[in-house]
Structure 1
Amino acid sequence: MKRLLSSVAGLPLIIGSVQAFSQESEADVRARRTEQQMTDDERFSLLVSILGNVAGGTLPPDERVAHVENQSAGWTPGIPRLGIPDLKSSDASMGITNPGYRPNDPGATAFPASIVVGSSFNPELAREGGVAIAREARSRGFNIMLAGGMNLTREVRNGRNFEYYGEDPLLSAVLAAEQVNGIQSQQVISTLKHYTLNANETNRHWLDAIIDPAAHRESDLLAFQIAIERSQPGAIMSGYNKINGVSAGGNDHLLNEVLKGTWGYKGYVMSDWGATPEWQYALHGLDQESGAQADPFMWGLDTEPFTRPLRQAYEEGKLPKERLSDMVRRILRSAYAVGIDKWGPAPEVDMATHNEIALEIARQGIVLLKNESVLPLAADEPLKIAVIGGYAQQGVISGTGSGAVAPVGGFAATSKIGGAGVMGKHRNLFLFRPSPVEELQKAFPNAQVEFDPGYTPAEAALTARRVDVVIAFGIRVEGEGFDLPDLSLPWGQDAVIDAVATANPNTIVVLETGNPVSMPWRDKVRAIVQAWYPGQAGAQAIAEVLAGSVNPSGRTPVTWPVALADTPRPTLSGLGTPWGTPVTIRYDEGAEVGYRWYAKRDIKPLYAFGHGLSYTNFAYSNLRISDGTVETAAKGTGRPAVTSTAADAPAPTSEAEASLVSSEETVTATFTVINTGDREGADVPQLYLTAAPNEKRMRLLGFEREVLKPGESKQVSLTVDPRLLARFEAKANQWRIAEGTYQIALGKSAGDLVLTGSAELEGRLFGR
């Protein structure tokens, strides 16, 4: 199979994943030879990790880890005589976490949430963040990072969406792969998680996700497939949920047939914590039980349900010797391939540099949703500014759960919210220093900055009336173990924002949330800034965007609905039921996730996928589509198949046209982007499929983030992964490109398509 290069981040995209993993590597040989020298006791010792002890925690202390320094989410004893190091893991998507394992830990860099990286559309930032996280892991002796969260946003009420990159398979795959590449470049194993359809938190241990298998391959599974091809992660973490009635951690079809069989994945599969209720999962593809103490606690058992029964099953011949050896070899293979057995001194950790990386992610990930000629504010004028609500006098907030990171010096403040279930005690309001009020005063040295807590709408309105401009902060704590009942802001904040906007029309809203919010006050305010959970440097980034020293360039990685009635599930199954209630969620939208759903149903969202405003302007021209190697005129006509047309807007130049040609494998789009404004800025042109033969179908085909000075232009080339043009045929276990016409468009977002055209492709089956 031909190797195609995608210009998305300039990284290789391997089509034909089985070939990518088919040849035996040095790591394979070493793993096989080492495993052959092991005793059965040593083999079984590698198949389980033990949670660290937390004083006053939910689980009682475990003597097996009492001696372990720098405790964290999991520990597996090494085998010194064979040179196998201890396996030590930490939750790490947004930094090294520490929910009480290490009382003397000085704190880690609290990077912005993964959805902020998603908004940046910048794979390089994902990689830089991964490198920094791994270096901080090395300094603590951790060699496995439970990072690479990439579940697709199927539900805008999912409390854990902030830990993921968005709703699109390509965007999520590219960014997750680069975080993994960054982590593993430092000789630290990274996971990709949670495989798969862990798209809701409500009673997640008892949730059954129902989906058409072919649609699954075209969406969530395609995201994992592309990410695995691009990064070859050492481990895959399965989810808590079931998929079509079978638990993710013991799903023979998804683990053995698809992941290890069709895709040829050579690493190991670990469970999520408390997601292994029986030893038979080992027969169905699970290689390692994680957080062993959590399983009997979660399932109400008297003893551990995996390790001891697994050993008994082996002695009785129910667990084949070859399967035991395979489990061990996979773990060893990842250790050798990444190099955790060859550590020298830990690399130097420069926390100031890591803070700069966190700051740059926040800068590039903040999205300007609306701007009615109010931003940027004049930084040198003697403005009277009221900052209202959102604990903005203390800090910016974080998402909660296993991904929450305690920064150097600790949180500015913590408020316990609580809630039902095992994660209830971890549901907290965390605030990172410095505060937005402090940073705004720095950004506007001649302004009078006044803070009002937004305690009541009436009191906040009094403050709003006496100033030139209002910056109202809206916050919502979201996190692991909880979904949202709706998209409103808690604690009466919508009423406060409405009141201050009524009192002072010159109101700017800054949102710190992990998901879209409903906006009953939207038409009353002049600007809306989506900051997400921007991490420890978030306050500075917010102030810089408002003052214009940073030109906003973030793009929404999820679609913002006008109302929940516009989403595939207006009512979310299981909401309000007691913890432990079985829940079934039918993903009847299939592969039509997010913007795909809206396009299929002709529903206009509040803000489209890929939307984001700038303080400058960009235009596109000269769209040309070819096969990237040998141009052949479509259908042998000797001329372009069609001239490009404008969609909902005039073409930026009169000569802009698309020459669309057929290709045996895929298409490549080449076009020009120009900064037509008066300041430097970054643009993210996006290429979409808008229709395929005999059906309306929208797919993001490629993207590129470009920084341009005023008047500067650049030619961009995007090569399309053919699977994004195809449908998956379950019976054939292959992808099919149907013969006929494919409509392709270049746009500023999924809802703002500027240049369109069509290509004629020959029908064919390919790949797996």
Structure 2
Amino acid sequence: MSSQPAPVTFEHLPDGLGIGVSEPRLSWTLPAGTGPQTAYEIETVRDGVTERTGRVDDSGQLLVPWPGRPLASRKQIDEAAYRVVKACIKAGLFDHPVPATPDGDVSTAAHEQLARKIVTDGTVLLKIQDGVSASTVCDMSGFGAGLCTNHAITERAARTGATVTYDNGADPAAAAAAAADADVAIVIGYSKMGEGSDRTNLDLDGNGDALISAVAAADHNTVAVLETGSAVLMPWQNDVKGILEAWYPGEQQGTASARLLWGDDNPSGRLPMTFPESLADLPTRTDEQYPGVFADGSTTRRAGDTGIRQVSYSEGLAVGHK
């Protein structure tokens, strides 16, 4: 009679979860004589309560990350999938199947019109004063504010017999001089943001705040067009006659912006967040709230320190408030 293999017990101490909580040590025992490519449930006893907290294969390798979390039930997965599919159906995503052969040219007149409509429907009018009209341009080069805007405004101005002066905004003093004799100055400010990095401030990039301030001081009929991904500070807001938040308007930004500035289209967007008057108005105005502090109370990680930065959400429901 052959002897049966003995059960094998594994232990695992989770680390690097990055959630700032202490996890108990997990231990589990695999049945004797288990074969390869087999998954086993882990049952962990916490305070007398047995939880299903993960899965391992026959070598003890964890198959489900973040042990210590109960596995989702089939019902929970079905409910989550239902919500996603329901939203897709409601939005009409299944009404127009993807064609077997892609279009040779997606820049059709209909697509361009749709792109312009998205800009006008999403642009938010933050301020308008004294019925400002557009006739002379002081533009700003940079992310989201290229020559296409200048060209579109120049073409639109020509239809009314107006002339356009262009300055790239690299030198605020030169831009102010160009705007001094203009009937209206239009400054495009921008800020970059994306998934690869976090913003360290709410200022405009490219010295944009100084540029708008300088132009507004030289021309009291100044309109600021913002192309940003979120809220920004506007220290110059009381010095300009109009403010448009166009977000990241895409390939039709020039034509759409010109139509908005001349009143051909209506800026129909609404703000999805609050634009603060100053940093003091933000709910995250303390170091403990943002960016968080380390054990020594510092906001800067010391060399060799592997501690977790502690962030206090004491603002409660005011986080991301509208």
TM-score range, shorter chain: 0.5 to 0.7
| Counterpart residue number, 1:438 | 151
Distance 1:348 1:454, change over 3 A: closer
Letter in 1 for 2:276: P
Letter in 1 for 2:129: E
Distance 1:584 1:545, change over 3 A: same
| Counterpart residue number, 1:388 | 139
Aligned partners of 2:235 and 2:188: how far apart in 1? 15
- Unaligned stretches of 5+ residues in structure 2: 1-15, 22-63, 85-92, 293-298
- Give the SS at the match of 1:528: strand
| Residue 256 (str. 1) matches residue 256 (str. 2) | no
Distance 1:207 1:459, change over 3 A: farther
Aligned partner (choices 573, 596, 600) of residue 291 of structure 2? 573
Identical-residue share of aligned pairs (%) = 34
Instruction: Quote how far apart the aligned CAs of 1:356 are.
Output: 2.6
- Give the SS at the match of 1:501: helix
TM-score, scaled to structure 2: 0.63
Letter in 2 for 1:439: A
| Counterpart residue number, 2:80 | 265
Letter in 2 for 1:370: K
| Residue 537 (str. 1) matches residue 285 (str. 2) | no
| Residue 500 (str. 1) matches residue 232 (str. 2) | no
Instruction: Quote how far apart the aligned CAs of 1:453 are.
Output: 1.6
CA RMSD for the aligned pairs? 3.7
Instruction: Quote how far apart the aligned CAs of 1:564 are.
Output: 2.2
Letter in 1 for 2:154: Q
Instruction: Quote how far apart the aligned CAs of 1:512 are.
Output: 0.8
- Give the SS at the match of 1:499: helix
Q: Is the 8 A contact 1:494 1:521 kept in 2?
A: yes
Q: Is the 8 A contact 2:186 2:224 kept in 1?
A: yes
- Give the SS at the match of 2:165: strand
Letter in 2 for 1:443: R
Instruction: Quote how far apart the aligned CAs of 1:206 are.
Output: 7.7
Q: Is the 8 A contact 1:513 1:531 kept in 2?
A: yes
- Unaligned stretches of 5+ residues in structure 1: 1-204, 211-247, 270-337, 398-430, 596-608, 610-768
Query: Greater strand percent: which structure?
Result: 1
Q: Is the 8 A contact 2:156 2:258 kept in 1?
A: yes
Letter in 2 for 1:493: G
Instruction: Quote how far apart the aligned CAs of 1:251 are.
Output: 7.9
Instruction: Quote how far apart the aligned CAs of 1:514 are.
Output: 0.8
| Counterpart residue number, 1:562 | 277
Distance 1:206 1:262, change over 3 A: closer
TM-score, scaled to structure 1: 0.28
Distance 1:594 1:465, change over 3 A: same
**Range moving further from structure 2, 352-361 or 445-454:** 352-361
Aligned partners of 2:320 and 2:112: how far apart in 1? 32
Instruction: Quote how far apart the aligned CAs of 1:551 are.
Output: 1.2
Distance 1:209 1:254, change over 3 A: farther
Letter in 1 for 2:152: E
- 1:458-469 residue pairs with structure 2 within 5 A? 458-469=173-184
Aligned partners of 1:249 and 1:438: how far apart in 2? 53
Aligned partners of 1:443 and 1:560: how far apart in 2? 31
| Residue 516 (str. 1) matches residue 234 (str. 2) | no
Aligned partners of 2:130 and 2:65: how far apart in 1? 52
| Counterpart residue number, 1:758 | none
Aligned partners of 1:455 and 1:344: how far apart in 2? 46
- Give the SS at the match of 1:573: coil
| Counterpart residue number, 1:485 | 200
Aligned partners of 1:533 and 1:586: how far apart in 2? 32
Instruction: Quote how far apart the aligned CAs of 1:347 are.
Output: 5.8
Aligned partners of 1:465 and 1:521: how far apart in 2? 17
Aligned partners of 1:510 and 1:450: how far apart in 2? 17
Instruction: Encode CA deviations 1:654-680: one digit per residue, 9 max, x unaligned.
Output: xxxxxxxxxxxxxxxxxxxxxxxxxxx
**Range moving further from structure 2, 568-577 or 454-463:** 568-577
**Range moving further from structure 2, 483-492 or 534-543:** 483-492
| Residue 355 (str. 1) matches residue 112 (str. 2) | yes
Letter in 2 for 1:366: T
Distance 1:558 1:464, change over 3 A: same
Instruction: Quote how far apart the aligned CAs of 1:346 are.
Output: 3.6
Distance 1:447 1:569, change over 3 A: same
Distance 1:387 1:251, change over 3 A: farther
Q: Report the count of equivalent residues.
A: 239
